[in-house]
Amino acid sequence: MNAPDDLTPALRDNIEQVLFSADDLDERLAEVAKQMDADYAGQELLLVGVLKGAFVLMADLARHLTTPVSVDFMAVSSYGSSTKTSGVVRILKDLDTDIEGKHVVVVEDIIDSGLTLDYLVRYLRSRNPASIEVFALLTKPAAHRVEVPVKYRGFEVPDLFVVGYGLDFAELYRNLPFIATLKPAAYGG
């Protein structure tokens, strides 16, 4: 897919290929939300979004759900402004709420090595939620090695660096309504 016509040239010129359009994402989220509504029927759900990447996804997923939902956010450091994992997970912002006895779904934009998620889920489990599951919009091939089971998945992506729909390169492109790869020139290389 090519980039839509209504983008500014500054964005358009940097996009190589659109992997998932806004419609693709919306359709898949509606399906996942339906599954979650069935799984949590008669219960309340706490969505924990992992900032910053999950901010767009959280808003769209929450609006597809009919289950009573509350939301909270955590921020962890993973990749600085480069495209390679640092191997260091640091909590920059903790939860505002107590999750003890609650049904929690951690909402992640993408799982690559799984390092971030693995750490996060073990950390949240120690606070005794009633249950804890994971939704990852995108999973890369290496994600299959993750110990943490990912119950809800959006799409599998090849081992490419992708941006849009919350995902950034050097903090840019998060506002694109679709998911795309960038031209090599966009990395300044």
Q: Which residues bind ligand IMP (CB under 6 A)?
A: 53, 78-79, 85, 108-117, 161-163, 167
Based on CB atoms, which residue is closest to Mg ion, 43 or 77? Answer: 77
Active site residue 112: yes
Q: Which of 13, 24, 112, 159 is catalytic?
A: 112
Output the CA–CA distances (angstroms, integers) from residue 26 to 33, 57, 65, 111, 123, in the order listed: 10, 10, 12, 19, 30
Rounded to an integer, what distance in angstroms lies between the CA atom of residue 176 and that of residue 21?
A: 10
Rounded to an integer, what distance in angstroms lies between the CA atom of residue 121 and that of residue 27?
A: 27
Rounded to an integer, what distance in angstroms lies between the CA atom of residue 172 and that of residue 169?
A: 5
Rounded to an integer, what distance in angstroms lies between the CA atom of residue 183 and that of residue 121?
A: 34
Q: CA Rg, the chain, in Å? A: 16
Q: Which does 104 bind (CB under 5 to 8 A by kind): Mg ion, ligand IMP, none?
A: none
Residue 169 CB, nearest approach to Mg ion (Å): 8
Based on CB atoms, which residue is closest to Mg ion, 127 or 174? Answer: 174
Residue 79 CB, nearest approach to Mg ion (Å): 5
Residue 34 CB, nearest approach to Mg ion (Å): 28
Judge contact between 162 and 151, C-beta under 8 A: no
Q: Which does 19 bind (CB under 5 to 8 A by kind): Mg ion, ligand IMP, none?
A: none
The two three-digit tokens of residue 91, written as one number:
């909590």
Angle 22-39/55-64 helices, nearest 10 degrees?
Answer: 60
Based on CB atoms, which residue is closest to ligand IMP, 1 or 75? Answer: 75
Q: Which does 154 bind (CB under 5 to 8 A by kind): ligand IMP, Mg ion, none?
A: none
Residue 99 CB, nearest approach to Mg ion (Å): 24
Give me the count of residues in the chain. Answer: 189
The two three-digit tokens of residue 1, written as one number:
């897919």
Q: Which does 17 bind (CB under 5 to 8 A by kind): Mg ion, ligand IMP, none?
A: none
| Range 65-84, binding Mg ion (CB under 5 A) | 79
Q: Interface with Mg ion by CB under 5 A: which residues?
A: 79
- Catalytic residue annotation: 112
